[in-house]
Amino acid sequence: MDHSGAPSDGSVVRAVLAGDTDQFSVLVRRYRDRYARYAAHMLGSIDAAEDAVQDAMVRAYTHLGQCREPENFAGWFFLILRNRCFAERRRSRWETGLEGVSEVAAPEQTESELERSEVVKDLQRALLRLTAEQREVFVLKHVEGLAYDEIAARLKTSVAALKMRMHRAYDRLRELLEAP
């Protein structure tokens, strides 16, 4: 993947397994933010995303010997983070939008911008009321921009199953957002 000469993920993984622990920081730096948005949408807050990424990174280090494809550390790390997000049960009460975020409310913010803020928060609240599987397919497709077949490959499932999940998510969101 890398023709510029920066160390590949595989060579860094091998170095860490050979005992050079500090090299793990290369992977931390590379991937610390890559799935942050996904985790934030899954968990409903950036603070929770930060905890999840931190835990997932440490877990990736602890189980690094089990990474079957060192050149695909990113995909393997994603699955660890995903498991961590699914295990997160404490968000039973829903937060307002991405919690901890105060958009810089410049006085010039127009009425339409304020309205958009509310609409965005409404959707985020509603997403948190979907099942984790439904929320995930919505986030991967519509926030992260992956195609169905890419999501299917990543999650080891079928496109048909994903579409069924997604379509239920669409209907559930309609119920939540169109509620009187």
Partner 1 sequence: MKREWNPLVKQVLDGERELETLPADLRLEAETARRLLLDAIDRQAVTLSASLDARVMARVRSRATAPWSRAWRWLSAPTVPRWAVMVPIAAAAGILLLARTSTPPAIGEPRTALTGQRESVYVRFELYAPHASRVALAGTFNRWDPAATPLVRVGSDGMWTVTIALPSGQHQYGFMVDGRNWVPDPVAPAVDDGFGRRNSVVSVNTMNGRIL
Partner 2 sequence: MKRLSVSLVILGGLAHGLAAQGDVRARLVGRVSPEVVQLVSSLADSARGLGLPDAPLVDKALEGAAKAAAPERIAAAVQTVFGQLAAAARVMRSTGATPGSQEIEAGAFALGAGLTVDDVAAVAQTADGTHPAMAVLQVAGALAALGVPRAQTVGLVQSAVRSGLPLGDLTNLPAQVQAAAASGVPPAAAAAGLERAAEARAAPNPHSSSKAKTNPHKP
**Tokens 């835990």, located at residue:** 55
CB environment 139-161: b (16+ within 10 A), e (fewer): bbbeeeebebeebbeebeeeeee
> What residues numbered 82-141 form the site for partner 1, per CB under 8 A?
97-98, 100-106, 108, 113, 116-117, 119-120, 122-124, 141
Give ∠ CA 29-48-169 in degrees, rounded to 5.
110
Q: Which does 5 bind (CB under 5 to 8 A by kind): partner 1, partner 2, none?
A: partner 2
Task: Kindly tell me which residue out of 42, 53, 85, 130 binds partner 1, with binding defined by CB under 8 A.
Answer: 53
If the CB atoms of residues 92 and 110 are measured against partner 2, the closer one turns out to be: 110
Task: Kindly tell me which residue out of 78, 85, 128, 134 binds partner 1, with binding defined by CB under 8 A.
Answer: 78
Distances (CA, A) of 164 to 56, 86, 160: 29, 19, 6
- Interface residue list for partner 2 (CB under 8 A): 1-6, 8, 10-11, 14-15, 18, 20, 23, 25, 29
